[in-house]
Amino acid sequence: MKLINAAVHLLEKLGYKVYIFIAIFVYTIAFSTAEIMIYQSFRIFTWDLGIFNQAFWNTLHGKFLYYTSEIGVYTKTGCFLAAHFSPTILLALPLYAIYPTGENLLIISTLIVAIGALPIYEIANFFLKNEKAAATIGILYLLHPSLQGVTLSGFSPEPFAVTLFAFILYYLIKVDLKKLALALPLGLMTHEASAPVIAAIGVYGMLQHRSVKSKGFQASLIVLATSIPYFFFAHYMRLFFGWTGRSSLWHEWAVVGANSVSELPLKIILNPIGALNALASDWTAKLLYMILLLLPVLFIPLLGLKGLIPATPYLSISLLSTYRLYYSLEGHYGAFIAPFIFLGFIHGLTKLKGINNMKISVVKLSAFAFLITLIVFATMLPTVYSQYQVFNPNDEHNSIIKSFISRIPQNASVLTQSNIFPHISNRPNAYTIAPPTWSYEYMLVDKEILANLSRQNIEYVLLDFAAEPPYSFAASFIYTEFIFPNIGRYALINAKDGVVLFRLNEHA
């Protein structure tokens, strides 16, 4: 009875916020389940997941954030902090230690993304003074297509970034300086690319609080002033941890003439025609991206442009790039924009609410947006999921891969393609290559990696020629560039349904 009373009391105290907690719980369960299903069928976008499973596993075993797949490419030392200065990800380490697997990382990242609904609810409630509408907006946030991209991309620094951006915003709006002092460094340390976004949050905060004398304005100024030098500090830290200095292999801003984000502002000024060309390239996809970002919130953020200020750094970066993942909803890059779409939405709603002669119910408008989101969600999600064929797993084939993995001793060195890699990356000497079809430059890098690995005695090579196209190409590439030139050194020990396991000959 006491327990029931306590529960009732808690529910009363939480009010509409309880729906947010339920939504977080449901979201985490639903998306974790879907992701684990994709993971178990060796189909998930596994490049990052493999990296973090290996980096975390090695950290627990004495090698700090050590991973192998980008040694010589972005990192000289094998430390992940050379590729991206993201120490905040270490917050997940204690949870990972409980059950150190790829599945656990998927659950952790989904939970982190879902928690973002809480500050969004608080921000909505702060501006709209309406718990019901705030709860709807919080749930709406979880259903936004850009957030699905972050979630379905698995574990990476971006899930931390998206949630911490929302918390920084909330603490800045509420002027909760103690909590802001905690969230700000954590947010900055998610990714070096978070610094410009947080700087823009500072600009937003200054416009929001207006009065120079107000604590909120001063705190915003500190946020802005901290973020700019931090951006350069993060680059220095990457060098400190062994960054090779190589810029991204995707050449995202080649049209503008920039090799990296930091070069972009100057290049835009020096080459405005190039910038316009970059903006115009693949413009239909970019337009669709913008529509899909704003449609679920009924384009209301356009009425609250102030809220979109923190979205401008990423929007500029993505729309000036020629790298499609930057302006599609599939990748985890939605992290740099999702909370601000909702900040704009909330500001837009506040504006509508303030117009006296317009009898618009904020709750009804939120509910309508909710309906639109559901339609977008229902239309888009099956197309996203169909590429993984999540509801049609080939159990027989998957069990063959699993049985082959079980034949590899835990301490043995292994080379495999990237969709199998997360399943064997819980060891320091697991290796993979990026699908060579990603780009010609990736193919050259893969060749270099395989040539280096040829000089080591990799004990096992596991390939799945029957995998989905990008991964089966990687399997073929590993065979032609690694096994075939070393054919005398490797014995085929088992093959079934396109899954082939090679072992280094004992005398090799």
How distant, in Å, are the alpha carbons of 22, 138, 167 from that of 350?
26, 16, 20
Phi/psi for 503 (5° steps) reads -130, 145
The pairing of strands 430-433 and 414-417 is: parallel
Burial class (CB in 10 A: 0-12, 13-18, 19+), 106: buried
Q: Cβ closer to other proteins: 101 or 394?
A: 394
Angle between helices 157-174 and 194-209 (to 10 degrees): 20
Among 357, 383, 392, 411, interactor with other proteins by CB under 8 A: 392
Quote the least distance from Cβ 492 to other proteins, whole Å. 6
Binding string, 446-465, against other proteins, x = CB under 8 A? -------------------x
Q: Which stretch binds other proteins (CB under 8 A): 68-76, 172-180, 196-204, 472-480?
A: 472-480
Q: CA 471, CA 464: separation in Å to the nearest integer?
A: 8
Residue number, 101 or 476, with CB nearest to other proteins: 476
Q: How far is the CB of 470 from other proteins (least distance, A)?
A: 14
Core vs surface per residue 161-193: b (16+ CB within 10 A) or e: bbbbbbbbbbbbbebebeebeebbebbbbbbbb
Number of residues that bind other proteins (CB under 8 A): 17
Burial class (CB in 10 A: 0-12, 13-18, 19+), 43: buried
Residue placing its CB nearer to other proteins in the complex, 237 or 380: 380
Least distance CB 500 / other proteins (angstroms):
5
263 phi and psi angles, rounded to 5 deg:
-80, -20
At closest approach, how far in Å is the CB of 455 from other proteins? Answer: 15
Looking at beta carbons only, is 12 or 396 nearer to other proteins? 396
Q: How far is CA 126 from CA 165, 208, 347, in A?
A: 17, 13, 11
Q: Taking CB under 8 A as the criterion, which residues in 486-505 touch other proteins?
A: 492, 495-498, 500
Q: Which is nearer to other proteins, 326 or 502 (CB)?
A: 502
Question: Which CB, 42 or 342, lies closer to other proteins?
Answer: 42
Smallest gap from Cβ 469 to other proteins, in A, equals 12
Which CB atom, from 399 or from 480, has the smaller least distance to other proteins? 480
CB atoms within 10 A of CB 393: 16
363 touches other proteins (CB under 8 A): no
Contact at 8 Å (CB) between 286 and 327? Answer: yes
Binding site for other proteins (CB under 8 A): 391-392, 465-466, 472, 475-476, 479-480, 484-485, 492, 495-498, 500
